[in-house]
Amino acid sequence: MVFSSITFIYYFLPLVLVGYFLTPDRLKNVTLLMASLVFYFVGEPVYIILLLGSVALNYIAGLGIEKHRGSLRAKQILASAIAFDILMLAIFKYFNFFAENMTAALSLDIRWVKIALPIGISFYTFQIMSYVIDVFRGEAKAQKNIANLALYVSLFPQLIAGPIVRYKTIEEELSNRVHSTENFAYGVRRFVIGLLKKVIIANPLGALWGLAKFAEQPSVLFYWLGAVGFMLQIYFDFSAYSDMGIGLGRMFGFHFLENFNYPYIARSITEFWQRWHMSLGRWFRDYLYIPLGGNRTSKLKWYRNIGIVWLATGIWHGAAWNFILWGAMFGIILILEKLFLLQMLKKVPGWIGHLYTLIVVLFGFVLFNSSSFTEAADVIQGMLGLLEIPLVSDESIYHLMSNKVLLIIAIVFSTPIVNFKLRHSAIDKLSRFEPVAIVLILAAVTGFLIDSSFNPFLYFRF
């Protein structure tokens, strides 16, 4: 079940909200937990056992770590819990990739049962790992109520595609959170903004990549149109899901941290990754980069740490060589920025740094979205004019003109310009029209959803 679906918007969510707010405070977590398990069960009826098993094991581990705090036994329990979590992720996300490459490398004729990827396993595994690590570090108390821990892991607003919510961020709110009209109104507004970004902007942009790849009249312009379309689509798709997740969380009294901060205005790759998928960046920083030594070590080890983190980031995104190469590419670029590029960018006009960042990210997303190295190479060669194709074609001009308004809207809304204008306008006057605007947006979104069958979430596969 996706947030941007008729089933979720008009059936599941209203029923959950009514049931939740009619439930006495002491049972609200139980109601929300049941709703979250139903939400996951609809999409993954079998793998809900894996989710609950992970909760049970890490619940026991958390209690054991707290009981033996400061001893070797606590370290052993932590290591066992993390090993289990990583093993489950390795089996269900990477087994097929490993088996395919081993059989190809060794020229073996072995058949194996392919394992389906459980939805959201990368997100909830990182969340449950953050719980046991924070308990071990003394940054959070072990959760005594297993239902509360299960709610933290399975909370449907962020279960499927993030943002990655750290346990210590909402530890207090699991047992004591505030429900208010202001929180609920903010949640509705944020959820509807996410719906708008997803259905009205991201979904139509999604068609451009496919049109460019399978064009009857390929051209350099068409390849660029497809690449830019995907670059904008993945931002609006993923940031929209984060907006909806944050909004839904606020309706139920949870404060999730922001996940995006206008990454396309960055003037370096370092700044870009400080603005993109911030919850994942914080996770790798606190649980891998800093434990490795961070930048408080020799320069050689510092660069090694960056490389390890970005190799892990690529692997986290998917079991395919293009993700590994994508992570390695950004790791190398970030190391080069630490060596000399950042100093160079400080000495040139800001627009040069901005252009450099957008170009690197654009080609990075071509690699990210390609099903094979061959496809990535074809698209990149097409963009660079290295194929025997014209600069423009009638087909590319047609699709550019057909999508020019959508592209302009997407570019403008990927910057803080509109938000800045609203914030510095007569906001009090605008706020009185907010309920009407929300109803109109919902009506428009509903029309788009009924009329279109294309409504995927790109990050479901991660």
Query: Which amino acids are annotated catalytic?
Result: 317
**Which residue is listed with tokens 């297993």?**
146
Alpha-carbon distances, residue 106 vs 55, 99, 109, 110 (angstroms): 38, 11, 9, 10
Residues 271 and 358 sit within 8 Å (Cβ to Cβ): no
The C-alpha atoms of residue 390 and residue 379 are separated, in whole angstroms, by: 14
Would you call 443 helix, strand, or coil by DSSP?
helix
Alpha-carbon distances, residue 174 vs 27, 57, 62 (angstroms): 12, 19, 16
Residues 43 and 1 sit within 8 Å (Cβ to Cβ): yes
The single-letter code of the amino acid at 444 is A
The C-alpha atoms of residue 318 and residue 96 are separated, in whole angstroms, by: 11
The single-letter code of the amino acid at 398 is Y
Residues 9 and 123 sit within 8 Å (Cβ to Cβ): no
Phi, psi for 126 (deg, rounded to 5): -65, -35
The C-alpha atoms of residue 322 and residue 50 are separated, in whole angstroms, by: 28
Degrees, nearest 5: CA angle 12-235-260 = 85
The C-alpha atoms of residue 143 and residue 337 are separated, in whole angstroms, by: 42
Supply the DSSP string of 272-304, one letter for each residue: HHHHSSHHHHHHHIIIIIHHHTTTSS-HHHHHH
Residue count (the chain): 462
Peptide bond into 163 cis (omega under 30): yes
Residues 165 and 462 sit within 8 Å (Cβ to Cβ): no
